[in-house]
Amino acid sequence: MFALTFETFGGPEVLRYREVPDPVARPGEVLVDVRAAGVNFADIYRRRGHYRELGEPPYIDGYEGAGVVVALGAGVGGLRIGDRIGFVDVARANVTRLAVPAERAIPLPEGVDEVTAAAILLQGLTAQYLSEDSAAIRPGDSVLVHSAAGGVGRHLLRLCRAKGARVIAMASSEEKRRIARDLGAEAVLGYDGDWVAGVRALTGGGADVVYDAVGSTLARSIEAARNRGTIVTYGMSGGAPAPVDPLMLMQSSKALRGAELWDYLDSGAERRRRSRKLFDALAAGVIAVPPIETFALADGAAAHRRLEDRGFSGKVVLVP
């Protein structure tokens, strides 16, 4: 098989397309011909050396994708050769063939092709648990969504709107603010100027729920929430947040919650249940497929450069 590999950490230029040994389906696994692999910022961080749990070189990036089952390991039930499946948490996925634990296989419904699955599964499932589990969103609530034109943000905006919330979107450029408006945000703010005052003016004192994926904005996000409001922190795209004083939270009765997708995808049954709900939301038009740009697996360096272009708002997918 072929893989997108790297042996040293650095920029996109360290990526190499090369032949590597074929995998086998061990007990409890299925062998998958990978038809599409989503590229995420975590892949860039691994390539740069920020994560070190990659084993020995040559390193292979990726953990999200979709493909067709071509072999079954011993003891696998409920899957057949020829089934189309997706996955969101299988390491070393930037390959033409991958061994996938059967419990992590997500069946794809008719009408969802492999490229679409690789473009929506990870960000969509993240937005789903954030809107359903991390905060109680009620009709009429005011919800502030950071990075609202990004991969998770666009789905989160739509899911909160579907619950009847008034969504205020934060975005870093005029083009991204236009995208957030088109997605249904009631109001859109930029990061220049006093956006906390803007949120307070729009909500009459603060948002009921704030979703912060930026990290470095967390202190101001807490300010932007109303007393007894909820702040959900789930990313650090802009840098690590400063320490939070719990006394300040006590004095305003605000709740600060951390959020991590893998705590919710804790079984095969839960992966399937949540993915079915996500695909139903897609079919109903509650969420939409983001703009997708595809690159051949051999052109992985170009794919990484495209994702690193902060002006891009969509999903990059590798197609072996």
Say if residue 209 is in the same domain as residue 228.
yes
Cα distances (angstroms) measured from residue 209 to each of 32, 42, 145, 166, 254: 40, 26, 9, 10, 10
Tally of residues, the chain:
320
Tokens for 154?
């666009």
Last residue of a domain, one of 234, 258, 282: 258
- Residue 131 counted as domain residue: no
pLDDT band at 54 (very low <50, low <70, confident <90, very high): low
Average of per-residue pLDDT values in the chain: 95
Say if residue 54 is in the same domain as residue 146.
no
Say if residue 109 is in the same domain as residue 190.
no
- Residue 157 counted as domain residue: yes
Cα distances (angstroms) measured from residue 225 to each of 52, 141, 153: 36, 12, 18
Rounded CA-CA distance 317/320 in Å is 10
Last residue of a domain, one of 212, 228, 258: 258
Residue 313: predicted pLDDT: 83
Domain count along the chain: 2
Say if residue 254 is in the same domain as residue 278.
no
Q: Helical H runs in 183-289?
A: 195-203, 218-224, 246-252, 268-283
CATH number assigned to the domain comprising residue 204: 3.40.50.720
Mean pLDDT of 105-116: 97
Q: Is 86 helix (H, G, I), strand (E, B) or coil?
A: strand
For strand 97-101 and strand 29-39, is the pairing parallel, antiparallel, or unpaired? antiparallel
Query: Which residue bears the tokens 């049954």?
Result: 269
- Say which residue, 185 or 240, is predicted with more confidence: 185
Q: What is the pLDDT of residues 215-263, one digit of tens each?
A: 999 999 999 999 999 999 998 888 888 899 999 999 999 999 999 999 9
- Residue 127 counted as domain residue: no
Domain that holds residue 114: 2-121+264-319
Amino acid at 314: G
Q: What is the pLDDT of residues 134-174, one digit of tens each?
A: 999 999 999 999 999 999 999 999 999 999 999 999 999 99
- Residue 34 counted as domain residue: yes
Residue 236: predicted pLDDT: 83
- Whether the pLDDT of residue 283 is over 90: the answer is yes
Q: What is the pLDDT of residues 111-131, one digit of tens each?
A: 999 999 999 999 999 999 999
Mean pLDDT of 54-79: 93
Residue 50: predicted pLDDT: 79
Instruction: Note the pTM of the prediction, 2 decimals.
Output: 0.94
- Residue 133 counted as domain residue: no
Say if residue 58 is in the same domain as residue 113.
yes
Percent of the chain with pLDDT over 70: 99
Residue 49: predicted pLDDT: 87
Residue 241: predicted pLDDT: 86
Rounded CA-CA distance 128/149 in Å is 16
Rounded CA-CA distance 201/193 in Å is 14
Last residue of a domain, one of 211, 236, 258: 258
Say if residue 6 is in the same domain as residue 111.
yes
Rounded CA-CA distance 274/78 in Å is 18
- Residue 129 counted as domain residue: no
Tokens for 258?
């951390």
Mean pLDDT of 18-37: 97
- Residue 215 counted as domain residue: yes
CATH number assigned to the domain comprising residue 52: 3.90.180.10
- Whether the pLDDT of residue 52 is over 70: the answer is no
Q: Which residue from 20, 16, 14 is spatially nearest to 5, judged by alpha carbons?
A: 16
Amino acid at 307: L
